[in-house]
A and B are shown apart, each in its own frame.
Chain A
């Protein structure tokens, strides 16, 4: 069995979005619906403790939230700020050797087994060793967080929700101990797993209030009534869970440009070109290609931030092609920007198709063109690439001058 550490930073997105306005967290406040993300519309995001007291919870429809709490302050979401702050914290955790699996901004898990000897070699007992690992994580993060430790990920998240900032909840042992720890906890904890978001309500209607009561049911009865979701919930409540899938350790490489005046259109495109050149010139890139980038902007007049991720069809290091891909994203920006940022999300293999010093040879250009045609035809059918062939360009009848033929 593993020893999973869960680090929970409650209301992380709300805290970041509130920025320097810490007083917002003391009054009923909620993250405003993020209309630009393409996610569920008109639903509030994370809510402050004071808003929770009014019965407002994340994912509630805006109309219902305002009906429950008319004084609710809506904080504009800050997706770029959240992603950046979260990435910085993840990198700090990785710096102690933790292979992290981020679930969402504010919640991350890692397996501590590999770190026990590194940080707890001088102490005896699992509990003391794990406390050393937590201390190391706490020092690296430098921000208050709640820590839960348990043999499974689900139990670790449950433990973190029960922990205090200076008092972690640690469950040692195996599956049996994890199940015993979870037995008294409410089934509402299952909501943290997206696949089980609807389940707690159904369970509560059936009179099942704790995870212990859920485990006591027979798997056949659960599968019959609730399907695969019921079996998964029972597995989690019984101290089981899938293995962690840590993300590959990444680097944080970013360039930003403060625009002297609110910029849009052509100015933004120039700024983007500059950022791409700067990013590619960074020595940390070490000649590698770029597979995915995140383009973000701080909008004028406290309009919040804007963020788009772009994954290239093939990893590349050619500024011209990067500009072609990223340029159209700029037109989706809802307001002029006062700062533009470009960050590498993931690197590809070292560049072998760098921009040539001299002009590309004709053969390489033709090969690239053929590949583009092949991809266009694969996506849009055989008529996706045609050539205008002049048959009788001087004819006095326009319909005789040219024909469309397949591009060969």
Chain B
């Protein structure tokens, strides 16, 4: 092992969201319910600010997922 390895690193995920930005599908599985949503902003004083909208959702397959929308790049990520 070369050095310390980060845990809970975000991984790319395909999310279909509605006009309001609310997830409707995660990796092709429909969303049954949104449990919680929160906004995280950090490093706004640097050149690489972090703006994320987190969604904790339950899919129709019964999985509890935490995904976030990177408001800077526009991409979706999965994170535990």
Contacts and interface: CB of A to CB of B under 8 A. Distances in A.
Contact of A404 (B7, B50, B79): B7
A403 B6 contact: yes
Interface of A: 382-383, 386, 388-389, 396-406
A404 B4 contact: yes
A397 to B, nearest CB: 7
Contacts of A405: 4-5
B40 A406 contact: no
B78 to A, nearest CB: 11
Secondary structure type dominating chain B contacts: loop
A231 B80 CA distance: 67
B4 A397 contact: no
B7 A396 contact: no
- Please give me the 9 A-B residue pairs with the lowest Cβ-Cβ distance, nearest first: A403-B4, A398-B8, A404-B5, A405-B4, A402-B7, A399-B8, A396-B40, A399-B9, A383-B1
Given A396-B40, A396-B42, A401 B1 contact: no
Contacts, number: 38
Interface size class on chain B is 10 to 19
B19 to A, nearest CB: 27
B65 to A, nearest CB: 14
A399 B8 CA distance: 5
Interface in B22-68: 40, 42, 50, 52
Contacts of B5: 403-405
A386 to B, nearest CB: 7
Contacts of A397: 40, 42, 50, 52
28 contacts: A382-B1, A383-B1, A386-B1, A388-B7, A389-B4, A396-B40, A396-B42, A397-B40, A397-B50, A398-B79, A398-B80, A399-B6, A399-B7, A399-B8, A399-B9, A399-B79, A400-B6, A402-B7, A402-B8, A403-B4, A403-B5, A403-B6, A404-B4, A404-B5, A404-B6, A405-B4, A405-B5, A406-B1
A406 B3 CA distance: 8
Contacts of A402: 6-8
A401 B4 contact: no
B43 to A, nearest CB: 10
A132 to B, nearest CB: 70
